[in-house]
Amino acid sequence: MTKQSVIFFDIDGTLLNHDKELPLSTKESIFKLKGLGHEVAIATGRAPFMFEDLRKELDINTFVSYNGQYVVLKGEVLYTNPLKISSLEKLTEAALQNNHPVVFMDHEDMKANVPEHTYIKQSIDTLKISRFPTHDPHYYIGRELFQTLLFCPVGEEEQYEREFRDFDFIRWHPVSVDILPKGGSKAKGIEKIVNKLGIPKERQYAFGDGLNDIEMLSTVKNSVAMGNAEEQVKVHAKYITKSVEEDGIFHGLQMVGLL
């Protein structure tokens, strides 16, 4: 029996290519890992409802979502880390004055504080998901929110970073930024899962490509950056595989000796 390892995969630019398609070699590799008895998990900035179809296709029920703020192990919620609502309310007021819309997100849905805005459409459309945020400016009231999207051009998030110290801001699109609880990360979410599973660091693996993967790649012992990752991401990984377009997951798993 192979000793069990746990492997965490980012979604966009890692499991899915830039057309949001799952390469056949990636799907086959995931099922080979599962067949060998390994625990396969997802670690993403996406909301849980944004990758339900992918979880079903790959038969994965362990995941770190919202960049570590909503963590599920074998179908059961293991850990949550919601945003501070009082600070979010003040940020939303400031954003409205700057014509910067926001989208509130919990584990079930997402709602925009404005009826429509070109920045929301531009960025959400790139995810190629079936759901689009509808209008509810009061969605934050009485709910735990795990991430909020702030829509503004590059550089304009700096004013919010200076004023709102309860949050971290991570850009994922030219006109959109993730707002997370201060210190929240995929690495923290992964820590909750590996501690519960009791799998040692030597058998922990992570694959990613984005800025929100840096802490994960820096923390997980056997980290693999995709060939399509930016250089500032690659420097934090132990290994660098081929791009997602070149069967990067398959080659990376071979590189680290899992396949």
Q: Write the CB contacts of 228 (distance below 8 Å, at least 6 apart in sequence).
A: 13, 18, 209, 243, 244, 245, 248
Distance CA 63, CA 117 (A): 31
**Chain CA centroid to CA 9, Å:** 9
Q: Where are the alpha helices (DSSP H) in the chain?
A: 24-35, 52-58, 85-97, 118-125, 158-163, 186-197, 214-219, 231-234, 248-255
**Chain CA centroid to CA 111, Å:** 19
Distance CA 119, CA 101 (A): 8
Distance CA 163, CA 154 (A): 17
Cα distances from 27 to residues 42, 237, 252, in angstroms, run 13, 23, 14
**Chain CA centroid to CA 129, Å:** 15
Q: Does 10 qualify as catalytic in the annotation?
A: yes
Which listed residue (10, 106, 178, 213) is catalytic?
A: 10
| Catalytic positions | 10
